[in-house]
Amino acid sequence: MSQLLTPVRIGRVVAPNRVLMAPMTRSRASEGGVVGDMTVTYYAQRAGAGLLITEGVFPSAWGKGYVNTPGIETEEQVAAWKKVTEAVHARGGRIFMQLMHCGRVSHPSLLNGQTPVAPSAIKPEGQAWTPVGQVDFETPRELNLEEIAGVVDDYRQATRRAIEAGFDGVELHAASGYLPEQFLSSGSNQRTDLYGGSVENRARFVLDVLDAMASEAGADRVGIKISPEMNYNSITDAAPEETYTYLVGQLREWNLAYLHVALFGNPAVDYHALLRPLFNGTYLIGSGLTQESAEKLLQDKKADAAVFGAPFLANPDLPERFRVGAELNAPDRSTFFAPPTAKGYIDYPALVPAEVY
């Protein structure tokens, strides 16, 4: 029997199936970080997911790292997100907001001329996606202790606003080389104070932020995403096995909604085998999954639910397609991050033509 289409508890939520939608940046918000009606339609079309996780959303303007990404800082942003949660709930769905602070993976042109911030002043390789196209990253400014407390508080307030906007929970984006992973990883964190050096110190920022988020939402409405050894956005760590063993071990008693582990490439360590026994809550696996591989992971008890990115982007009714064994639409990469246009966003066909939202 299919495990993917059975219910599962995810913190305070009961998901009717284990086919979850991964957080995916789509760069279709206004310049001011406000989502529009197309975004309401996009998430409402996908409400059949066991759980929807939004694109990365900046908790405060300092956290923005890509052109046309949304925020959850101003009244206007909150009001716009409220339309999304109402539409998803009206269609029987559940939705978490992913909080994403990009740290050094940004550019002054996205930050009103300010220098991006990071644990240490170490420039990442590569380029930022800005209003004027791709531009080389710059050397970030090191956050001082007072500013770190301020950023933690930004996550706290963003969590409060996300709950106000009707979200069922929030996910901390601690993957893909953004600010939380910049603190976690030795290559981007060379601090000598209580936020750098030992693994206990490098993990402190992530734990402080989770604590702040849990204090607003309740731990059972907070999830975390990690991606050990993804090596994206120039992130490197001298001893990732030790880093993630420590971090996940610390989370054990928190009763978080979930731990989401996305692995890319072929890490030397089998992180799922390593981390799952360390965590006592709902364990989500994502990245590169197909219906068959996800089903096998669940049958083998390697995860509690499966997270789909590109397949969900291209198939608004993915769980239904799995149920009936339908063909999948292929994702069109050229429209992943298009300027605000419906093409490749809300025009992927469903098996049964959708109502108009």
Ligand X SMILES: Cc1cc2nc3c(=O)[nH]c(=O)nc-3n(C[C@H](O)[C@H](O)[C@H](O)COP(=O)(O)O)c2cc1C
Placement of tokens 């996205």 in the chain = 110
Instruction: Give yes or no for residue 228 binding ligand X (CB under 6 A).
Output: no
130, β-bridge pairs: 133
The answer to the question of residue 232 lying near ligand X (CB under 6 A) is: no
Which residues, numbered 65-84, are part of the site for ligand X (CB under 6 A)? none
Q: Segment near ligand X (CB under 6 A), from 81-89, 130-138, 207-215, 286-294?
A: 286-294
Structure tokens at 225: 């995403």
Task: Decide: 195 and 189 in contact? Cβ < 8 Å.
Answer: yes
Closest residue to ligand X in the complex (CB): 309
State the Cα angle at 206 between 122 and 235, rounded to 5°. 35
Does residue number 308 form part of the binding site for ligand X (CB under 6 A)?
Answer: yes
Residues 92-131 that bind ligand X (CB under 6 A): 98, 100
Contact between 4 and ligand X (CB under 6 A)?
Answer: no
- Closest approach of Cβ 100 to ligand X, in Å? 6
Tokens encoding 95: 């939705």
Residues 224/210, Cβ–Cβ less than 8 Å: yes
SS (HEC) of 61-92: HHHCCECCCCECCCHHHHHHHHHHHHHHHHCC
Which C-beta is closer to ligand X: that of 23 or that of 169? 23
Query: Which residues are CB-contacts of 107 (< 8 A; sequence separation ≥ 6)?
Result: 116, 128, 130, 135, 137, 138
Least Cβ distance, residue 200 to ligand X (angstroms): 25
Can you tell me which of 24, 152, 274, 338 binds ligand X, judged by CB under 6 A?
24
Distance in Å, CB of 194 to ligand X, minimum: 27
Site track 260-279 with ligand X (rule: CB under 6 A), x = hit: --x-----------------
**List of residues 6+ apart from 330 with CB closer than 8 A:** 314
Residue 178 annotated among the catalytic residues of the structure: yes
| Cβ closest to ligand X, residue 72 vs residue 262 | 262
E strand or H helix at 117: strand 117-118
**Tokens coding 292:** 């068959």
Binding of ligand X at residue 23 (CB under 6 A)?
yes
First to last CA, the chain: 34
Find the binder of ligand X among 40, 158, 175, 298 (CB under 6 A): 175
Q: How far is the CB of 212 from ligand X (least distance, A)?
A: 19
Does 170 contact ligand X by CB under 6 A? Answer: no
Smallest CA-to-CA distance from 283 within 49, 22, 9 is with 9
User: Interface with ligand X includes 173 (CB under 6 A)?
Assistant: yes
329 sits near ligand X (criterion: CB under 6 A): no
Q: How far is CA 91 from CA 20, 49, 50, 326, in A?
A: 16, 11, 12, 22
> Quick check: 88 and 357 in contact, CB under 8 A?
no
CB of residue 175 to ligand X, shortest distance in Å: 5
Q: Is 288 in the site for ligand X (CB under 6 A)?
A: yes
Of the residues 178, 195, 244, 345, which is catalytic? 178
Neighbours of 255 (CB within 10 A): 14
- Choose, by CB under 6 A, the member of 311, 316, 319, 344 that binds ligand X: 311
Q: Report in angstroms how near the CB of residue 96 gets to ligand X at its nearest.
A: 12
Of the pair 116, 196, the CB lying nearest ligand X is at 116
Nearer to ligand X (CB atom), residue 46 or residue 191: 46
Could you give the angle at which helices 145-164 and 204-217 cross, rounded to 10 degrees?
Answer: 30
* Least distance to ligand X, CB of residue 4, Å: 14
Three-state secondary structure call for residue 210:
helix
Q: Tell me which of 309, 316, 319, 344 binds ligand X, using CB under 6 A.
A: 309
How far is residue 269's CA from residue 245's CA, in Å, rounded to a whole number? 11
Interaction site with ligand X (CB under 6 A): 22-25, 55-56, 98, 100, 173, 175-176, 225, 262, 286-289, 308-311, 336
Catalytic residues: 178
